[in-house]
């Protein structure tokens, strides 16, 4: 059963935790990204964990292998349930991330899921500043194959690419998909967008949704509408 993760893209802990509290019971995963983590640091993770949420720490590490190994080790020590790196960092960086993850896990702690970002869902054809580059979906599929080969647990890709990724990498290879919008809502800065039902139909394991939930008059009702759409898939 696919799970919804709500992106807490807020400027401070107060707003983020108020939102998380309002979603308690409807959603079990929260995502902490660059804005919130940069503002508040590790304590935001323990606050969400203390509230009973699973936490995806979405910092998209991309650096030399030694640095990424240390960053993933620290993220695992913080108790993050899921972390991510960029697939474009290549094999040595990816393998170092997996070593760092194992090093950071405390005895009895569940090992975090480590995903590789393929192509950001905000990118459309022509957005990659590389002359002659293949289209984003083609790049995403290629990078997913590499991520699998490097020993990662799965990828972040758009819902448009999930079916092909699962065919190429196997059903157990996790696909997490941002760029989710109900047919009735706008797409903001996202470009490779699908509905919750389409993402689930294509095989997505985790759907990340931010603004359509956190910007709604009733975030809990908005999250429920997304979950209803996900569950409409037979
Ligand atoms: O508000 P919206 O639903 O567009 O938020 C999507 C979230 O997913 C953001 O927090 C963004 O950082 C994240 N994300 C993404 N595309 C990726 C990886 C993460 O949109 N490839």
CATH of the domain at 206: 3.20.20.70
**Ligand 1 atom at shortest distance from the alpha carbon of 117:** 21
Measured from the CB, is residue 120 less than 6 Å from ligand 1? yes
Which residue, chain included where needed, has tokens 């913080």?
78
Which pLDDT tens digit goes with each residue over 26-54? 999 999 999 999 999 999 999 999 999 99
**Looking at the predicted structure, is the pLDDT value of residue 234 above 90?**
no
Say if residue 117 is exposed, middle or buried (CB neighbours under 10 Å; 0-12, 13-18, 19+): buried
Number of structural domains found in the chain: 1
Measured from the CB, is residue 158 less than 6 Å from ligand 1? no
The SS3 of residue 127 is: coil
Say if residue 4 is exposed, middle or buried (CB neighbours under 10 Å; 0-12, 13-18, 19+): buried
**Looking at the predicted structure, is the pLDDT value of residue 224 above 90?**
yes
**Looking at the predicted structure, is the pLDDT value of residue 2 above 90?**
yes
Q: How far is the CA of 64 from the centre of ligand 1 (A)?
A: 24
Measured from the CB, is residue 164 less than 6 Å from ligand 1? no
Determine the pLDDT at residue 26: 97
Which pLDDT tens digit goes with each residue over 131-187? 888 999 999 999 999 999 999 999 999 999 999 999 999 999 999 999 999 988 899
Assess whether 234 carries a catalytic annotation: no
Q: Exactly one of 11, 49, 54, 60 is catalytic; name it.
A: 60
Pocket test for ligand 1, best of 208, 212, 222 (most atoms within 8 A of CB): 208
Q: Which domain does 41 fall in, by range?
A: 3-231
Determine the pLDDT at residue 185: 85
Which pLDDT tens digit goes with each residue over 62-121? 999 999 999 999 999 999 999 999 999 999 999 999 999 999 999 999 999 999 999 999
Quick one: pLDDT band at residue 11, thresholds 50, 70, 90? very high
Residue 204, both tokens: 């997505």
15 phi-psi bin (left φ>0, alpha ψ -120 to 50, beta other): alpha
């Amino acid at each position: 059963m696919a799970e919804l993760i709500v992106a807490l893209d807020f400027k401070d802990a107060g707003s983020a935790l108020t939102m998380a509290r309002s979603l308690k019971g409807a959603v079990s995963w929260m995502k902490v990204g660059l804005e919130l983590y940069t503002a508040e640091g590790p304590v935001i993770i323990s606050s969400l964990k203390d509230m009973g949420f699973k936490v995806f720490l979405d910092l998209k590490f991309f650096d030399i292998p030694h640095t990424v190994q240390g960053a993933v080790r620290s993220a695992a020590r913080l108790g993050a349930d899921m972390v991510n790196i960029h697939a474009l960092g290549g094999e040595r960086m990816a393998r170092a991330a997996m070593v760092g993850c194992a090093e950071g896990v405390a005895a009895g702690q569940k090992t975090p899921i480590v995903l590789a970002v393929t192509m950001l869902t905000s990118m459309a054809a022509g957005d990659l500043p590389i002359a002659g580059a293949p289209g984003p979906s083609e790049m995403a599929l290629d990078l997913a194959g590499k991520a699998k080969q490097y020993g990662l647990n799965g990828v972040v890709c758009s819902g448009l690419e999930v079916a092909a990724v699962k065919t190429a990498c196997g059903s157990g290879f996790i696909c997490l998909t941002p760029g989710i919008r109900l047919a009735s809502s706008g797409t903001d800065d996202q470009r490779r967008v699908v509905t919750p039902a389409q993402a689930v139909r294509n095989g997505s394991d985790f759907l990340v949704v931010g603004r359509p939930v956190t910007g709604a008059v009733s975030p809990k009702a908005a999250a429920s509408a997304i979950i209803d759409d996900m569950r409409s898939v037979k």
